[in-house]
């Protein structure tokens, strides 16, 4: 969604930059800050959405936190072959996209100054669409397929917590 619309979501500028950097470094993902008003390299949807090229996540001060987490989870959920060739388009199928959304919601609780409740609200405000009409309803009642996908690839444990691993 282009940022031309006035959407009230938390942005990267609302965080201590060390918080996402520490979380994502554990997954081997680095962050590069892009100057205000510059294009964001590797952004599939265009600015202010986060961009991915290789193991680098590109962000601006106005990048939504949910976009930062979502693109990071694409990196985590794709296989090694796709990560090696990653440039802008994360690819994947519908099942993987659901897993990316689910994992990004889980990781929101690990970002100081952000949490799952705000992530779900920001996803709805931004225009994510889910079968049950809201991110929260989908996450709580209709995401068993996403949880199973993540468990099968050892990205979450039996209790539903992120393992800190990348998909092989």
- The predicted structure's pLDDT at residue 3: 44
Q: Which residues, in sequence order, are CB contacts of 92 under 8 Å at separation 6+?
A: 74, 77, 78, 82, 100
How far apart, in whole angstroms, are the C-alpha atoms of residue 134 and residue 123?
Answer: 8
b or e along 91-112 (b: 16 or more beta carbons within 10 Å of the residue's beta carbon)? Answer: ebeeebbbbbbbbbbbbbebbe
Please compute the mean of the pLDDT values over residues 139-150 and round it to a whole number. 97
**Can you tell me the distance from the alpha carbon of 62 to that of 33, in angstroms, rounded to the nearest whole number?**
11
Question: What are the structural domain ranges in the chain?
Answer: 12-152
**Taking residues 84-109, what's their average pLDDT?**
97
Q: What is the pTM of this model?
A: 0.94
Give residue 7's pLDDT. Answer: 79
Confidence of residue 6 (pLDDT cuts 50, 70, 90): low
More confident residue, 5 or 152: 152
Confidence of residue 1 (pLDDT cuts 50, 70, 90): very low
Residue pLDDT, tens place only, 31-90:
999 999 999 999 999 999 999 999 999 999 999 999 999 999 999 999 999 999 999 999
Q: Residue 27 above 70 pLDDT?
A: yes
- Measure the CA–CA gap between 121 and 151, rounded to whole angstroms: 25
State how beta strands 30-33 and 51-53 pair.
unpaired
| Contacts for 157 with CB less than 8 Å, ≥ 6 apart | 151, 163
Residue that has been written with the tokens 């397929």 in this structure: 145
């Amino acid at each position: 969604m282009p940022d031309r619309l006035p959407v009230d979501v938390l942005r990267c500028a609302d965080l201590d930059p060390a918080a996402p950097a520490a979380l994502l470094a554990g997954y081997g993902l680095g962050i590069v800050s892009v100057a205000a008003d510059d294009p964001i390299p590797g952004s599939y949807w265009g600015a202010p959405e986060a961009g991915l090229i290789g193991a680098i996540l590109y962000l601006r001060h106005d990048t939504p936190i949910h976009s930062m987490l979502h693109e990071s989870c694409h990196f985590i959920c794709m296989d090694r072959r796709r990560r090696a060739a990653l440039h802008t388009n994360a690819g994947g199928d519908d099942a993987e996209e659901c897993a990316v959304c689910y994992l990004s919601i889980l990781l929101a609780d690990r970002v100081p100054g952000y949490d799952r409740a705000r992530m779900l609200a920001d996803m709805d405000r931004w225009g994510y669409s889910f079968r049950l009409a809201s991110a929260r309803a989908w996450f709580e009642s209709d995401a068993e397929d996403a949880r199973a996908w993540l468990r099968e690839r050892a990205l979450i444990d039996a209790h539903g917590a992120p393992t800190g691993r990348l998909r092989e």
